[in-house]
Structure 1
């Protein structure tokens, strides 16, 4: 089981590396790691379990955040219509995206960042992601809204990019041209 002490924090070199592709079919070890990642995200959203195991709530986790430099992400998030997007993916890749941008009005946070980082993080409003599930199924997922932002955040981790790398340092709350604000 992954706990908060297993999650590396900003400044750790693994967070700035480009992660390796996972060989297909994945090894038992890779399957176990990805399974434990999705379990962390799900358990962290359960108030009782989060308190019991001292888990910081999260809606996404990338393998580099647990010091495993491999292309694996786990996401468990609801969109505005309360549709659940729960995915554990090997080798996720954004294969297309909208020209239109969006951003969370509340900014973004990260389990690997123990501080508030104010500012708007520009993201694509809509993306299409391809990846392989724990069951070995190749999937294509079309996303918009919060799920789209979460997938982009986690896939950035696979490329050594932190969310605050996207924030305008001089003017972090500059309204982004041609970008639609998203409240959640």
Structure 2
């Protein structure tokens, strides 16, 4: 069988209900899962974004890809069934956005450091202790697997404003097509 040619997939946007579902665990690492992670990575880079969770491409499985590296040194993570096993008391506030909520950002407070356990594409268990942008990114992506969006971490007022803006843009773009 030839090498998988990665495809750019459609990213699901608010208010699609798949974004609110709790994703199911991946029972085993197969070629299909590895190919899907490749597709997710090219989709993320194309968007462009620094993280993508499977629910964002309409697949309710516990898979994420992320790359918070600088342009010169990509650091691509492909995580299967990631879970946060430890969080710091310290918090940090970072501006977050989401490919499923286009053009909207907000400041989100999260634990500054997290330790994540996940399965890699070889089926091995890995641990990652992340801080800074990577910590925020991995928490944001794991949230997606639990049906949580970054706007759930901000005040209701700000959240409502963002949702209203997204809906207005969707109505405008659908009336153009």
- What TM-score do you get using the length of structure 1 for normalisation? 0.76
Aligned twin of 1:17:
21
The aligned runs of 1:13-162 (5 Å cut-off) are: 13-24=17-28, 26-41=29-44, 44=45, 55-78=46-69, 84-104=74-94, 107-117=95-105, 119-162=106-149
Change (3 A) 1:171 1:164: closer
- What TM-score do you get using the length of structure 2 for normalisation? 0.79
If asked which structure has higher relative contact order (CA below 8 Å, sep 6+), I would say: 1
- Aligned residue pairs total 153
SS at match of 1:30: helix
Structure 2 stretches of 5 or more lacking a match? Answer: 1-5, 160-177
Instruction: Kindly indicate which of the two structures has a greater share of residues assigned to helix.
Output: 2
Tell me if the contact between 1:35 and 1:134 (Cα under 8 Å) persists in the aligned partners: no
CA RMSD of aligned residues (A): 2.0
SS at match of 2:156: coil
**CA distance in structure 1 between the aligned counterparts of 2:78 and 2:97, rounded to whole angstroms:** 20
Structure 1 stretches of 5 or more lacking a match? Answer: 45-54, 173-184
Q: Which runs of 4+ in 1 moved over 6 A?
A: none
**CA distance in structure 1 between the aligned counterparts of 2:17 and 2:43, rounded to whole angstroms:** 23
